[in-house]
Amino acid sequence: MTARKLTRIPIRQVVRYHVLEVDGQKLEMARIGTTLASDLSQGGMFLSHTRLTPGVHVHFYFELPGGYIEAVGKVVHTQHRIDAVGVARPGSGVRFIRMSDGDRQRLDAYLSGDACSHRISEARV
């Protein structure tokens, strides 16, 4: 197993998402959902309690201090993780592939600790 290039921080954040399906020239929103992100980095996030097909694209948004982050991502894996009560739950890793400059700056400030924060203290995790 190789080490992660980007540090992930624990988070419990509601994420609203739309699964995007492309059929030739046609783009459709195939599924709409709400779930929780359990970790976050500059490159992506892990969506807990949802099983998305690797390779699909998702449009999503979630709130951080200072406003919402909106982006498009690609599902890179689906796996089970043990939750706080010891139950294996499905989840999906999503890599960010498109995000506005303003949202990227807001995300970077949050991850670096420069923003007012809802961050979970790493001491409590």
Query: pLDDT per residue over 39-69, tens digit each?
Result: 999 999 999 989 999 999 999 999 998 889 9
For the chain, give the percent of residues with pLDDT over 90. 53
On the question of pLDDT at 116 being above 90, the answer is no
Q: Please tell me what DSSP assigns to residue 115.
A: S
Q: Which residues contact 60 (CB under 8 A, 6 or more apart)?
A: 15, 16, 17, 18, 70, 71, 72, 73, 94
Q: Please tell me what DSSP assigns to residue 107.
A: H
Residue 12: the pLDDT is 87
Higher pLDDT, 88 or 77: 77
Task: Find where tokens 């406003």 sit.
Answer: 67
Domains in the chain, please, with CATH?
9-112 (2.40.10.220)
Residue 98: the pLDDT is 95
For the residues 104-112, what does the mean pLDDT come to?
92
